[in-house]
Amino acid sequence: MSEEHTTTEANPHALFDGDTGDMDAGARTAAIALKRDRYIAGDLYDLVLDNRDDVVRSLNNDMLELVVNERYRVMYATPVSDDDAPIRALKTRASLTREEASTLAYLRIRVLEYENTRTDPKQWIVGFEEIRNALTTGAGYLASRNDEEGVLRKVSATVSAMATYGYLMRHDDDDGMYTITPLVPVVLDRGLAEDWMGTAVDDDETASKDSGNEADSPKEEL
């Protein structure tokens, strides 16, 4: 009898020679996705539901907790609070900059507009120029800045960060268009979005003096 065959017989969940894991392929796939990706939805969401106990145990082993939003059918893994964690989690937290917080707030308000017209989430479209206008005109956070090239670079970096964080999904056929993901309304409610938009304007003078230039915003898992 081969060693591989013996290992498989001893551990019915084994996926490779010497595997001592106690989770089947579906549970492992779901847990890996939660640890690797900003959030999961669709088939992976259902896969977690089918293997929830195993997935939660795997996340807890890495000092992570499962967050579930049933309305938007979105899940993500978040580090346990610092007060409860004697060791560092697999994922870490980082504060949003004020530009990023203001952009996230704008995206949340756009989602609210789409929801009021019962638009399918797949059609929550926003353009780069819309985001730039929101940040640079009227009460926008960057409206008072005079360096046009510098502002454009800052807006570009901010939009790129929003895509990296999972709040925007780029369109392959149009670099200037994005889909707002369901993660936006999951992490930010309407009231907080309005507060952030107002705070970004009120704190504009202070922001220019802060060395860190970070917003008093929720810490996001990156």
Classify the phi-psi angles of 16: left when phi > 0, otherwise alpha if psi is within -120 to 50, otherwise beta: beta
pLDDT-based confidence at 81, cuts 50/70/90?
confident
Give me the phi and psi of 84, to 5 degrees please.
-95, -10
Beta-bridged to residue 79, according to DSSP, are 64
Q: Comparing 189 with 212, which gets the higher pLDDT?
A: 189
The rounded distance, in Å, linking the Cα atoms of 115 and 103 is 18
Q: Identify the helix (H) or strand (E) that includes residue 187.
A: helix 183-187
DSSP characters over 90-145: SS-EEEEEHHHHHHHHHHHHHHHHHHHTT--GGG-EEEHHHHHHHHHSTT-TTTT-
pLDDT-based confidence at 45, cuts 50/70/90?
very high
Average pLDDT for residues 75-81, to the nearest whole number? Answer: 92
Note the pLDDT of residue 203: 43
The contacts of residue 111 (CB under 8 Å, 6+ apart) are 124, 180, 184, 185
Highest mean pLDDT among 15-19, 172-176, 217-221: 172-176
Residues 131 and 165 in one domain: yes
- Which of 45-59, 87-101, 119-133, 205-219 has the weakest average pLDDT? 205-219
Quick check: is 14 in a domain? no
Tally of domains within the chain: 2
Note the pLDDT of residue 72: 95
The sign of the torsion formed by the CA atoms of 88, 27, 33, 106 equals negative
Q: Identify the helix (H) or strand (E) that includes residue 221.
A: strand 214-221
Residues 68 and 142 in one domain: no
pTM: 0.77
Quick check: is 178 in a domain? yes
Supply the range of the domain harboring residue 193.
98-197
Residues 150 and 121 in one domain: yes
